[in-house]
Amino acid sequence: MPVIIKRISFFVVLILLWEAVYLLDFWVDSMIPGPLSVAKTIYAGFADMTLVYDILASFRHLLIGLSVSLVIGTLLGILLAKVKTADETLGTMILALQSVPSIVWVPLAIIWFGFTEASIIFVVIIGGTFVMTMNMRIGIKNVAPIYLKAARTMGSKGIDLFMKVIVPASIPHAVTGVRLAWAFSWRALMAGEMLSTGPGLGYTLSYASDFNNMSLVIGIIIIIGVIGSIVDQLIFQRIENKVLKRWGMEEAA
């Protein structure tokens, strides 16, 4: 059976189970609305364009924050890979900060930047920077020694060796870092927006929760998951597979 058929069948069964639970009426509608109610809420949100504006605002925050995090993460990764002292000091701190959940940075962002878009973008930057840094560091440090020996034998050294051998050889790890940075930044974005004054999907989610609009809460959770899955599988996963295949690290996806 094709994978797409399996996935569609799975979600159909899941929705039927959801409808069955709703019809059993164990909980009030304000706690577990039916799938039809959620679908109507999502449709109404797109019809009056409020959800469209929220999605556009969220993507604006994401693109700015993710772009900055990739630049900072790449530079830090190169620094840690090439400077032993930086790796032994700054690297330890970055490794520790990587395990800190994004939501923890929100109070700090609010104190520094207030309830502004800058706070959201700051949290997104923090969310993607550390994972990009560590992947870039691993990519450069794991360049096969035979490549370096062969290049040096042919007279390559210094910046020429770095740009023509080390950087190309580390690209698979860098691409994996970009994919992970996107996922971490997307989660961080929602955490930041939930405590913002809007606009954005996270803000609308928090707003709907405050007014006990569970249909909208579940609808936005579904939208967040669908967007995350589509962007990851249709863009980043495909790019990663093509790069791994190009570098001979994986069979054709």
Helix axes 201-210, 167-194, angle to 10 degrees: 30
Neighbouring C-alpha atoms within 13 Å toward the C-beta of 57: 22
| Residue-wise DSSP of 130-149 | HHHHHHHHHHHHTS-HHHHH
Residue 188's contacts (CB-CB under 8 Å, 6 or more residues apart) are 65, 102, 105, 123, 124, 126, 127, 128
Q: Mind listing the pLDDT tens digit for each residue in 2-53?
A: 788 888 899 999 999 988 988 887 777 778 888 999 999 999 999 999 999 9
Q: What is the mean pLDDT of residues 206-210?
A: 88
pTM given for the model: 0.83
Q: What is the mean pLDDT of residues 234-240?
A: 83
First to last CA, the chain: 18
- How many C-beta atoms lie closer than 10 Å to residue 198's C-beta? 17
Q: What is the mean pLDDT of residues 148-165?
A: 82
Q: What is the mean pLDDT of residues 142-161?
A: 82
Residue 253: pLDDT band with limits 50, 70, 90: very low
Q: Mind listing the pLDDT tens digit for each residue in 213-222?
A: 899 999 999 9
Q: Is the peptide bond before 199 cis (omega within 30 degrees of 0)?
A: yes
* pLDDT > 80? residue 210: yes
* pLDDT > 70? residue 249: no
Phi, psi for residue 143 in degrees, rounded to 5: -60, 130
CATH number of 39-244: 1.10.3720.10
